[in-house]
Amino acid sequence: MFKNYSYQQILLLATNIPIFLFAIFAIFKYKKSIYEHKYVMIFFVNSLLFDVVQKVMWIYKMNNLYVLNIYSITEFFILWKLYQHNLNKFIGNKIFYIVLGIFYLFCILNMAFYQGLFSDYNSNTVTLESLIFIVFAQIYFYKILTELNVENLFTEPMFWINIGVLIYFSSDIFIFIFSNYLMKYSQSLNSQMWGIHAIFLMIFCTLLSISLCVSPKAKKPNLEDY
């Protein structure tokens, strides 16, 4: 079955195995009392389901572009919820809902008028998603530096999630931008770039898994609270 695939394509297919393991680990490490753990588990299960579907369709030469479009929408919402929970008091809930509305409106317009649901990879959507989460990740670090109420960063689940988000979206944004061009003009280079993407995806998932292994300690009181 795999003899006609390059090693980069096989690497992409093989990412299902660690994602499956990460999902099982997340389910067993799930803690109802910790918000971040709940949404990391949802992220892994969501990723596994969509990844299996789109790769099975890829193997059997079926058009799976619409699956990727739907996945981007669900992935965005899950990560958006994590940042909303951790930053809503810092930058305001209203801003978060404005960002959510703009992103989903952009998704609809992009699918309707530019990159069709079945005809193109939604590079515009995932590029915007990347930019939004790069900004959120930087704001989270700024929040930590200004509030100074976290005693140990390494016991903060969101700290590990944030590092993963920043590494993943910063590294992959150029792959997303040029993905449609590469698919049309260089299948070999396209496979190599998505092989690199698979590596950064595994780094991201590993950091999310680390977040499941830590629990936040009591925060230092903020002087502004007095």
pLDDT on residue 59: 75
Contact 76, 93 (CB under 8 A): no
Residues whose CB falls within 8 Å of the CB of residue 133, separated by 6 or more in sequence, listed in order? 79, 83, 165, 166, 169
Give pLDDT < 70 ranges for the chain. Answer: 1-16, 31-33, 217-226
Q: Spell out the alpha helix ranges (H) of the chain.
A: 7-14, 16-29, 35-59, 65-91, 93-109, 123-147, 157-185, 187-212
Give the model's pLDDT for residue 23.
86
Structure tokens at 186: 């260089």
Contact 175, 193 (CB under 8 A): yes
- Among 125, 129, 117, 121, which residue's Cα sits nearest to residue 66? 117
Assessment of whether the complete model's pTM goes beyond 0.85: yes
First vs last C-alpha separation in the chain: 66
The ranges assigned to domains in the chain are 7-225
Task: Check residue 33 and give its pLDDT.
Answer: 65
Q: 7-225 in CATH: which number?
A: 1.20.1070
Per-position b or e across 206-218, b if 16+ CB within 10 A of its CB: ebbbbbbebeeee
pLDDT of residue 149: 86
> What pLDDT shows up at residue 32?
64
